[in-house]
Amino acid sequence: MAARNTTDSLFALWAKRDAYFETHFQDEIISKFSDYGVGSSKSNEAKGKTFGGGYEMFIIAFFIGLYSDSRRELDKSLDKKKFGQPIEYWGNLDSRTGRKSYPEIRKHIFAALIAKTDIDLIALEKGEIEAGDVVSTLIDAMNEYANYGFYYLAEKLKDNPNSLYRNSGFLDIFLDLTRKKQPKDEELEEL
């Protein structure tokens, strides 16, 4: 009989990987808005940060890239860093932090990556290309979308350092990106 590769689903293989980013974004963005690099034992409120784990900042950056339909290759000459937290743990928050878990976001990121990359699914199905290589392609694409997002945020911070510290700072970005074609019907300035 034929030997079928049934060990791991593509999603599981992908979720076991970790994202990475250009190290300079740690100080420029990630640590500013998340608890990355400060441990995860305390609640977010105690530190007054917008987000919990550093990967949350990555998710934000990724969706900025995705909705802008723009990727940016990571600079080969720069240091890269991983979060130390594989995708499968993203958004598995426990209740003591007062946060909710969000497993659907992982699935949607995966779906988006499949949709947005040129993977020859037939070749994959035939076993002509390795699942591991496909996953690498997906991860690369994800990092590139996020990389675009990080540069976008860095620019935003440079233009107006306070804008992201407002409650609606990040939300405004997404409303902008997803409602471009419609006129703004709601002003989100904080009172």
Partner 1 sequence: MKIKNISIKNFRSYYGTHTIELYEGLNIFIGDNGDGKSTLFDSLNWLFDTTLTEQKNERLISKKCLAHLVSGGDAESVSVSMTFEHDGEKYIEKSFDFFLDANGNLKTANYQFVGYEEYGSERQRVDGRRLLDRCFDASIRQYCLFKGEEKLDIFNTDNALQYLVNTFSEVHDFDMFYTGDEEGFTEFAVQNAKRARDVAIKNANATTQKERDLNTAIGEISRQLTSVERDLKDAENNYNKYDKLLTDIESHAEASEDLRRINDRIKNLKERKENTELKIDDAYSKKLLDDYWIMCGMSPVIELFSEKTNAFIKEKQKLEIKEAEKKGKKEAIKEIAAGVLPLDPLIPDRKSMENMIHDEFCKVCGRPAPKGSDPYNFMVQKLQSLLDSISGEVPNDEEDSNLFTNNYSVELQQILRNVDYMTMRINGLQNEISGSVKENNRLKMLAKNFQRSIDDAIDEKNKLLSKNNNITEEELDTDYKNISNWNKYRNDADHSREKLKIRKKELNDKLTELQSELAGISKDDKSKTAVLVHQALQYICSAFAYAKQKNTRNFIELLTTHANGYLKKLNVDDFHGVIQIIERANGAARLQLVDNDGTIVTNPNTALETSKFMSVLFAISDLTTLKRENDYPLIFDAPTSSFGPQKERDFYAAISSVNKQCIIATKSFLKEDGSLDMPKIEHQKGKIFRLSLNPDCDLEKMSTIQTNIEPIKMNI
Regarding 121 and contact with partner 1 (CB under 8 A), the answer is: yes
Is residue 78 a contact point for partner 1 (CB under 8 A)? no
Within 10 Å of residue 30's Cβ, how many Cβ atoms?
Answer: 27
Q: Report how far residue 137's alpha carbon sits from residue 39's, in angstroms, rounded to the nearest whole number.
A: 30
Shortest distance, CB of residue 183 to partner 1, whole angstroms?
13
3-class secondary-structure state, position 171: helix
Q: Residue 67 and residue 62: Cα distance in Å, rounded?
A: 9
Neighbour-count burial for 93-107, b at 16+ CB within 10 Å, e otherwise: beeebeeeeeeeebe
For partner 1, which is the closer residue by CB, 10 or 139? 10
Binding status of residue 167 toward partner 1 by CB under 8 A: yes
Sign of the C-alpha dihedral, residues 16, 80, 137, 129?
A: negative
- From the list 22-30, 99-107, 135-143, 147-155, the region that binds partner 1 by CB under 8 A is 99-107
d(CA 166, CA 191): 11
Judged by CB under 8 A, the residue of 86, 89, 124, 136 near partner 1 is 124
User: With respect to partner 1, which residue has the nearer C-beta, 75 or 178?
Assistant: 178
- Helices (H), ranges, the chain: 10-15, 24-25, 31-33, 44-47, 54-67, 103-116, 121-126, 131-159, 169-178
User: With respect to partner 1, which residue has the nearer C-beta, 82 or 103?
Assistant: 103
CB of 156 to partner 1, least distance (A): 14
94, 95, 96, 126: which one binds partner 1 (CB under 8 A)? 126
The residues of the shown chain that bind partner 1, judged by CB under 8 A, are 2-6, 9-11, 33, 38-39, 41-42, 46-48, 50-51, 56, 59-60, 63, 66-67, 91, 99-100, 102, 104-105, 107-108, 110-112, 114-116, 121-122, 124-127, 131, 167-171, 174-175, 177-179, 185-186, 188, 190-191
